């Protein structure tokens, strides 16, 4: 039996008894219009994707390229500003035109940093950290959410938004109040309740336990990622021809994510491709996994409806599915239908996530949520395969930089104090920050006569975990880390002595 290559094709699948949409491996060799999909070279935006963006967003080729380029720039600037402004950072978003980056901060000094970086500052009352803490209270109370649609932090309004079903805003206000939120920080909107986009149809691979079908999200070293509702740990998968394919190694749904990882058998290891099937005869390249900001254009591919584009509307949203609430999803105005679940999301050639669920359809439009791919990679220590034959940077520690480095010479720098031996501090400025995939570095100079440790942690679905530790002598610690895009924080800890230290950070 000849195996078909596993493209990160958003191929439709569904599981019996599950309410989420699935897709299948082995579909890279076919497409709805007939014939084999054609590969698209990496680099410029695939012309097929530009055509869909014109249809769905009304953008010509130059406008679409400009929007995607601006979104990538905004992602890097937002990451640096989040690190520079620390606990006074309030979030970032691109305006409706997709070209203006606004960054919320709680102080005038931070506003000056935003202007210097080429973005527009917005002074707000509440920091992102404050709003995230408020949202966490809602997550902890989710068992009392009833039929609410979900909730999320909305940076432009500087509030936590609770989404109720049409005609039932009273329950949303009561839910927020019972959870102990400051009601001045709450807004209520209405939208239909989302559901997983499952669709049971015959003969569409891949097959889970010889009964349910699901979709591939993206190829990674050793297998592929998909939605968490596409099987539980230990389930076996087969290809479209019924040949043994792999085993579900990780699955989360509902709860902290909708993420899954299938490890393929040895015979499939060389067949994993860093492309997405657009179901119109083309294979779109995947060149990386830089996370696009709110307001950026994004496109989804699924076997039921093909490829559609829209805009990212919100992040870190909790969606209250009938099966249970799922946290950390990204909201978009892209349509989807049953059978599209598990499929691939791209912003240009950058992987964004896998389809989770939504409401509406591609006739009248709708809202669709995806599970961010970077959280799947970080939680499961996976490496995304990218076009050009090379893998995305693995999350591993590199040799430390020169111990004599000048910490104040790094882009994000400053001083702080630890008052007693054994105490710790979070940096930058007591908070966490977003970083794109690539190399980041840090340097710590301890006060004279003291010795402080430096630790870098990355946030996963199970909380923060240590990914790198500073090394060095004579009171100076340095580290360099080459990892996936995600949320990070530094910990400075006094092992002996106290006093004022200097720290510098470089963010990719």
Q: What is the mean pLDDT of residues 444-470?
A: 88
Q: How far apart are CA 304 and CA 309, in angstroms?
A: 15
What pLDDT is recorded for position 421?
Answer: 85
The CB-side HSE value for 374 (13 A sphere, CA atoms) comes to 27
What pLDDT is recorded for position 340?
Answer: 82
Pairing of strands 236-238, 244-252: antiparallel
For the segment 283-302, what is each residue's pLDDT rounded down to a tens digit? 889 998 889 999 999 999 98
Cβ 368 vs Cβ 301: under 8 Å: no
Cβ 313 vs Cβ 321: under 8 Å: no
Cβ 484 vs Cβ 374: under 8 Å: yes
Q: What is the dihedral of CA 170, 172, 177, 182, to 10 degrees?
A: -120
Extended strands (E) in 322-374: 324-332, 344-347, 350-361, 365-372
Q: How far apart are CA 141 and CA 137, in angstroms?
A: 6
Tell me the two tokens of residue 475. 């009171």
Which residue did the predictor score with more confidence, 206 or 8? 206
**Among the listed residues 78, 4, 70, the one whose alpha carbon sits nearest the alpha carbon of residue 434:** 78
Q: How far apart are CA 73 and CA 52, in angstroms?
A: 22
Instruction: Give Cα separations from 166 to 169, 186, 189, 310, 323 (angstroms).
Output: 7, 18, 9, 23, 20
Count of beta carbons in the 10 Å neighbourhood of residue 50? 21
CA pseudo-torsion sign 198, 200, 201, 204 = positive
Provide the whole-model pTM: 0.81
Cβ 87 vs Cβ 430: under 8 Å: yes
Count of beta carbons in the 10 Å neighbourhood of residue 100? 14
Pairing of strands 236-238, 207-208: antiparallel
What pLDDT is recorded for position 15?
Answer: 33
Which residue did the predictor score with more confidence, 218 or 402? 218
Q: 101-110, 388-397, 487-496: which has the highest mean pLDDT?
A: 101-110
Which residue did the predictor score with more confidence, 143 or 18? 143
Which residue did the predictor score with more confidence, 56 or 208? 56
Tell me the two tokens of residue 484. 């996936």
Q: DSSP labels for 45-92?
A: PPHHHHHHHHHHH---HHHHHHHHHHHHHHHHHHHHHHHHHGGGEEEE
For the segment 173-189, what is each residue's pLDDT rounded down to a tens digit? 999 999 999 999 999 99
Work out the mean pLDDT of the chain and round it to a whole number: 83
Q: Which phi and psi (to 5°) does residue 290 adopt?
A: -70, 125
Count of beta carbons in the 10 Å neighbourhood of residue 34? 7
Cβ 90 vs Cβ 127: under 8 Å: yes
Q: Is residue 390 over pLDDT 70? A: no
- Residues with catalytic function: 229, 258, 341
Q: 19-33, 116-130, 227-241: which has the highest mean pLDDT?
A: 116-130
For the segment 312-346, what is each residue's pLDDT rounded down to a tens digit? 999 999 999 999 999 999 999 999 988 787 889 99
What pLDDT is recorded for position 415?
Answer: 86
Confidence class for position 137, pLDDT limits 50, 70, 90: very high
Q: How close are the terminal C-alpha atoms of the chain, in Å?
A: 45
Burial state string for 318-338 with b = 16 or more CB within 10 A and e = fewer than 16: bbbbebebbbbbbbbbbbbbb
Least confident of 151-160, 310-319, 383-392, 495-504: 383-392
Q: How far apart are CA 379 and CA 465, in angstroms?
A: 9
Q: Is residue 37 over pLDDT 90? A: no
Confidence class for position 206, pLDDT limits 50, 70, 90: low
- CB under 8 Å to 362, separation ≥6 — which residues? 305, 308, 335, 336, 337
CA pseudo-torsion sign 310, 314, 320, 326 = positive
What pLDDT is recorded for position 190?
Answer: 96
């Amino acid at each position: 039996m000849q195996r078909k290559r596993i493209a990160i094709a958003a191929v439709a699948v569904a599981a019996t008894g599950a309410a989420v949409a699935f897709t299948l491996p082995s579909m890279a060799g076919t497409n709805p219009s007939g014939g084999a999909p054609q590969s698209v070279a990496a680099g410029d935006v695939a012309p097929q994707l530009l055509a869909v963006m014109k249809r769905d967003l009304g953008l010509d080729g130059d406008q679409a390229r400009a929007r995607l380029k601006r979104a990538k720039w905004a992602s890097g600037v937002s990451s640096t500003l989040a690190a520079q402004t620390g606990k006074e950072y309030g979030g970032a978003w691109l305006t409706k035109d997709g070209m203006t980056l606004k960054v919320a901060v709680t102080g005038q000094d931070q506003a000056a940093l935003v202007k210097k970086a080429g973005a527009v500052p917005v002074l707000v009352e509440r920091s992102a950290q404050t709003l995230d803490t408020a949202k966490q209270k809602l997550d902890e109370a989710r068992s009392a959410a009833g039929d609410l649609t979900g909730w999320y932090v909305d940076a432009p309004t500087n509030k936590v938004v609770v989404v109720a079903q049409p005609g039932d805003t009273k329950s949303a206000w009561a839910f927020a109040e019972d959870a102990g939120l400051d009601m001045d920080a709450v807004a209520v909107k209405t939208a239909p309740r989302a559901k997983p986009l499952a669709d049971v149809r015959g003969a569409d691979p891949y097959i889970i336990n010889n009964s349910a079908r699901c979709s591939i999200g993206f190829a990674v070293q050793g297998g592929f990622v998909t939605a968490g509702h596409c099987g539980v740990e230990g389930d076996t998968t087969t290809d479209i021809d019924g040949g043994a394919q792999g085993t579900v190694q990780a699955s989360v749904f509902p709860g902290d994510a909708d993420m899954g990882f299938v490890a393929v058998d040895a015979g499939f290891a060389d067949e994993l491709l860093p492309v997405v099937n657009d179901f119109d005869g083309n294979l779109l390249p995947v060149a990386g996994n830089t996370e696009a900001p709110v307001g950026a254009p994004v496109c989804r591919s699924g076997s039921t409806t093909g490829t559609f584009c829209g805009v990212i509307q919100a992040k870190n949203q909790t969606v209250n599915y009938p099966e249970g609430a799922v946290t950390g999803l990204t909201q978009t105005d892209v349509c989807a239908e049953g059978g599209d679940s598990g499929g691939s999301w791209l912003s240009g050639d950058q992987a964004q996530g896998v389809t989770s669920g939504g409401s509406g359809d591609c006739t009248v439009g709708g809202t669709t949520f995806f599970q961010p791919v970077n959280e799947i990679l970080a939680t499961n220590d996976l490496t995304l395969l990218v076009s050009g034959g090379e893998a995305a940077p693995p999350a591993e520690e590199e040799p430390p930089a020169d111990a004599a480095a000048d910490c104040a010479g790094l882009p994000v720098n400053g001083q702080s104090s630890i008052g007693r031996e054994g105490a710790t501090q979070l940096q930058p400025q007591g908070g966490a920050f977003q970083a794109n995939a690539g190399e980041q570095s840090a340097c710590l100079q301890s006060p004279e006569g003291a010795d402080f440790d430096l630790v870098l942690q990355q946030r996963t679905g199970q909380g923060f975990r240590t990914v790198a530790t500073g090394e060095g002598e004579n009171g100076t610690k340095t580290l360099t880390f080459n990892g996936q895009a995600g949320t990070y924080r530094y910990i400075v800890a006094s092992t002996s002595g106290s006093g004022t230290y200097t720290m510098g950070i470089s963010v990719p």
